[in-house]
Amino acid sequence: MASVQTDRNRAAQELFAPIAETYDRYASLLSFGQDPRWRRFLVSRVDTEPTDTVLDVACGTGAVAIELARRTGCKVIGIDQSRAMLDEGRRRVTEASLAERVTLQEGRAESLPFDDARFDGVTFTYLLRYVDDPAATLRELARVARPRARVASLEFAVPRQPVARAAWRAYTTAGLPLAGGLVSRGWRDVGRFLGPSIRSFEREWPLERVTDCWAEAGFENVQSQTLSLGGGVVIWGTRGSH
C-alpha cells in the first residue's frame, strides 16, 4: 500500500478486525435496522450500465458492491484497508455467485492504487469519519472517476428534528453500547465509539461543508437526501469534465 498508515487508519483497523465475521449480522443494529434500505437508495443514485466498472471505497464486507452488481449488472472493484473485512467480503461475494463481477482488494481511500479517470462510477459508505482529511480524500475519489461518472456516498447523521434527535442520542449513548456489549467485546467497542464519532464529525463537518467540499473536489450537481428521520444521509453528484 503506497500511503503511510496514520493513527486514524490504525484505530479503524483495530475497530473493525474483531467484528468482521459478524459485521453483516449486527450492523443493522447501528442504524436502527435501516442501513440495507439506505444502501439500496445509494445504489439507485449511481446510474450505471452492465458494461461499466464501479469503484466501491471502504467496501467492508461488500454489501454495497454486491447490491451494485446485482442491481445493475456492472463490474465492481471494492477497496478497503481491513484484511479481516475483505476476507469476510470475499466469502459473501462467492456465496452470492458474483465472483466474476466483484473483486475486493486491499487499499486506502487516501491513496487509491488506480489511474486517473479509471471508473464509470464511485461509491463510498461510512468512510469520511475514518480519514484525517476528508477534503483531500474527496479529491482522491474524484481523481479516479471519469468525466460524467456518477458518485454517491452514505453516512450516518444526527437527526435535526428535536424528538428524533433526543431518541437518537439516548440510543447511541446508552442502548447501542449496551446492545453491543451483549454481542461481544468488539461490538461493545463499536457501540461506544459510534455515537461520539458521528456527533463530532457532524460538528466539524456539517452537511453543507461536506457538499461544498464535493463541489471543490470537482463534482457537479451535488445533491443530498437525509433518510430515516435524519439518521442517514446520501450525497450524490456527477464528476465534472475537467
Ligand X SMILES: C[S@@+](CC[C@H](N)C(=O)[O-])C[C@H]1O[C@@H](n2cnc3c(N)ncnc32)[C@H](O)[C@@H]1O
Contact between residue 73 and residue 79 where contact means Cβ atoms under 8 Å apart: no
- Give me the sign of the Cα torsion angle 238, 240, 241, 242: negative
Count of residues engaged in binding ligand X, rule: CB under 6 A: 21
By C-beta, is 63 or 208 nearer to ligand X?
Answer: 63
Q: Which is nearer to ligand X, 79 or 149 (CB)?
A: 79
CA distance 77 to 86: 12
When asked if residue 126 is in the footprint of ligand X (CB under 6 A), the reply is: yes
* 75-80 vs 53-57, strand pairing mode: parallel
d(CA 202, CA 210): 9
Under the binding rule (CB under 6 A), the answer on residue 125 touching ligand X is yes
Q: Least CB distance from residue 58 to ligand X, whole Å?
A: 3
CB of 97 to ligand X, least distance (A): 20
Regarding 235 and contact with ligand X (CB under 6 A), the answer is no
Residue count of the chain: 242
Q: Identify residues 133-192 at the interface with ligand X (CB under 6 A).
A: none
Q: Which of residues 56-85 bind ligand X (CB under 6 A)?
A: 58-60, 63-64, 80-82, 85
Stretch that binds ligand X, among 43-51, 95-103, 105-113, 212-220 (CB under 6 A): 105-113
User: With contact defined as beta carbons under 8 Å apart, do 197 and 176 qualify?
Assistant: no
**Residue with smaller CB distance to ligand X, 21 or 240:** 21
Burial, 87: exposed, middle or buried (Cβ in 10 Å; 0-12, 13-18, 19+)? middle
Residue nearest to ligand X (CB): 60
Distance CA 20, CA 17 (A): 6
Instruction: Catalog residues that contact ligand X under the rule CB under 6 A.
Output: 9, 12, 16, 27, 58-60, 63-64, 80-82, 85, 108-110, 125-127, 130-131
